[in-house]
A = this chain, B = another copy of it.
């Protein structure tokens, strides 16, 4: 293979991690910089480019790289820009793909949001290999999604499709969501949603719980997990409720695109069966008859520490149509 490698960049709120990846999904060389260090985007790009040149050099130079993929919050695939990302230091519309490509002698750079990158990663190296229709749901600080239909990521007419964390799961008295609306799936089933449910349960109910030993304001989904592993009744119920809500929502997603699989990705999946079992129960109960038992529920098969870089890197293989890269 003339160009055997791709580069993946995972632009997170705290760190930007990058690596050179081969066709089997092995990260050969990697590095990272602090995202928040540079208030000026050109300083950030300069430091990032320097880091990229080091790993690319180790892999044999520019001629070995087919393309660069970036997963970034609010990343728009169509124009290669980050648009109004709340957790990044640079405001407005940043033409990130173009800026990086220019610094790297025109290497093709493609960008999308982190959940879409996860979906392409699963399709290229993970649980969705060989699948043409599937949905990746990311359960982290927020709830995101990457939807693949007919082998292609769904971007919609504006590049922003796949906001399944913001379908409304409770239309009456719904929980306030970070998006400004009420009742979003994310407000209940993200890691932060799980912690909120814990605080709610502890306030409303009288049951004993090891969670009562913690400062309620500091409870995390990890604390709820640890408590559940100790068979704490309230903690177990929190995972059950969370899973049931996900199962209800998945039944609606299946009515939309009838995917072969829904793949769970992100921090909350560490809960394993604690979260998967109630999802399955609820999905079986809520699914339209025509779809019953047809959609697999799977966990991501990307190694967690590498997943974000791998997902982003998978975009690098997609370099085909010059109009979608810069």
Contacts and interface: CB of A to CB of B under 8 A. Distances in A.
B258 A288 contact: no
Interface stretch (A99-107, A210-218, A228-236, A246-254): A246-254
Contacts of A253: 256
A7 B180 CA distance: 50
Contact of A166 (B166, B171, B288): B288
Interface in A247-281: 248, 251-253, 255-260
A49 interface: no
Nearest to A256: B256
A156 interface: yes
B294 A164 contact: no
7 contacts: A133-B156, A149-B149, A157-B259, A162-B258, A168-B251, A181-B286, A256-B256
A53 interface: no
A289 interface: yes
Contacts of A260: 157
Interface of A: 131-133, 147, 149-150, 152, 154-164, 166-172, 179-181, 248, 251-253, 255-260, 286, 288-291, 294
A92 to B, nearest CB: 15
A30 to B, nearest CB: 32
Contacts of A159: 258
Given A157-B294, A162-B256, 7 more contacts: A156-B258, A158-B258, A166-B288, A167-B256, A180-B289, A252-B252, A256-B257
Given A149-B149, A256-B162, A257-B154, A288 B179 contact: yes
A167 B143 CA distance: 20
The 9 A-B residue pairs whose C-beta atoms are closest, nearest first, are A156-B258, A161-B258, A157-B260, A163-B255, A167-B252, A133-B157, A166-B288, A161-B257, A166-B255
Nearest to A251: B168
